[in-house]
Structure 1
Amino acid sequence: MPLAPSVAEEQARRLLAEDLPRRWAHVMAVAQKAQIIGRELGEDGALLEATAWVHDVGYAPDLAVVGFHPLDGARYLDGLDAPRRIVDLVAFHSSAWAEAQEFGVVDELARFQDERTLTRDLLWYCDMTTGPDGSDLEFEDRMAEVRERYGPEHYVTRALDAGMDERRAAVRRSREWLTSVGLADQV
């Protein structure tokens, strides 16, 4: 089943807006950045925006089977027959492999693929420069916010260190591309 941005938005709204309004604010802001970026991304523009809308649906209480939101979201979307790229991008968003190692779900995550493309980097950029309430943050400030919110012993905080080089590289590549297409000051 195709997952147009408007359909993805409705799915995310239904799953997040009422039960998790702060998460919904984050998702709306990530999707807004993705929509702006998508105008310059060509054929992957709609894919980026649709994925931004659903990247955090795994937090929805009804979907939290494993308790690892990238995996729970990817499984849900896979069950809807969403496009494989969207499913895979959700599964691996924002260095999820590092969190999967800490959480103990590497084998489950391995059924999905990390495509390592510009589109993937841009999704990570949108997510990792948007605060939990939808505020716009610099990458380093966002990483500091995550550390503070979860505390030093949480698996998410430990995974930040394991995936930090890859996160930084994705953000750097995204910024370079955004600058090259004249969007650096818009997102």
Structure 2
Amino acid sequence: MANCEVNWAYNLAGGLLAESLPRRWAHTQGVAACARRLAPLMREEAGVLEAAAVLHDIGYAPPLVDTGFHPLDGARHLLEVRSAPERVVRLVANHSFALLEAEERGLRMELAEEFPLLDDPLLVDALVYCDMTTTPDGGRTTSEERVGEILGRYGEDSVVGRFIRRAAPAIHSSVERVRAAAVEADVVL
């Protein structure tokens, strides 16, 4: 992916999140920094990962909220505003096991039909790793602490709480697979 695509992603996400949702923007910047650290592991997919990392939460931006499910709202916006690369759009739509949350919201079929999950396990895991090892303020954390923070913020019986409890084992597995791949490739996380 060309640098201009990654720059476009930063401009779009920053314009949507920096002022209206500064904490979400801080998280996004931390997720993108993580993606840059994974660049040696991702090789030719490094730009795709970074662009998706920067765009993964744009669906929270007030002007984009339609269904109230940020992965779907963000991905739909990416299709409307520009012919964003399909791989990036599908990563945004499906980031961090979004299909499980979509199921909790009654949106699983819509998400799965509009934005099929990529058949690229390392790329999918890498975005999970970046999102789920980054705090809401953009700092680094463990996936266990992140899942706990999400449960504390939303409550265990909320839609997000039910989703994150179901997704936690898969999230931790994704994180471990990325760590193992990084060790094998001698990439410092």
- Kindly state the Cα deviation for residue 142 of structure 1 after the two structures are TM-superposed: 0.5
Question: Is 1:143 the equivalent of 2:144?
Answer: no
How many residue pairs align between the two structures? 185
Pair 1:107 & 2:109 matched: yes
The correspondence of residues 152-171 of structure 1 with structure 2, limited to 5 A, is 152-171=156-175
Question: Post-superposition shift, 1:41?
Answer: 1.6
The residue aligned with 2:7 is 6
**Which whole-Å CA distance do the structure 1 matches of 2:62 and 2:40 have between them?**
33
1:70 partner amino acid:
P
RMSD of equivalent CA atoms: 1.5
1:129-177 deviation digits (Å, cap 9, x = unpaired): 0011111111100000000000122101101122223212211111111
Gaps of 5+ in 1: none
User: Which contiguous aligned blocks of 4+ residues in structure 1 show a shift greater than 2 angstroms?
Assistant: 181-184
The amino acid across from 1:180 in the alignment is: E
CA drift at 1:40: 3.3
Q: Secondary structure at the match of 1:39?
A: helix
> Distance between the aligned counterparts of 1:167 and 1:97, measured in 2?
13
- Provide TM-score, normalisation by structure 1: 0.94
1:104-136 CA-partner distances (Å, limit 9, x unpaired):
111210221112420110011000000111111
- Residue 165 of structure 2 aligns to a residue whose secondary structure is helix
| Higher mean displacement: 164-173 or 5-14 | 164-173
In structure 1, the residue matched to 2:84 is 82
Report matched runs for 1:17-96 at 5 Å.
Answer: 17-79=18-80, 80-96=82-98
Aligned-partner residue type, residue 73 of structure 2? D
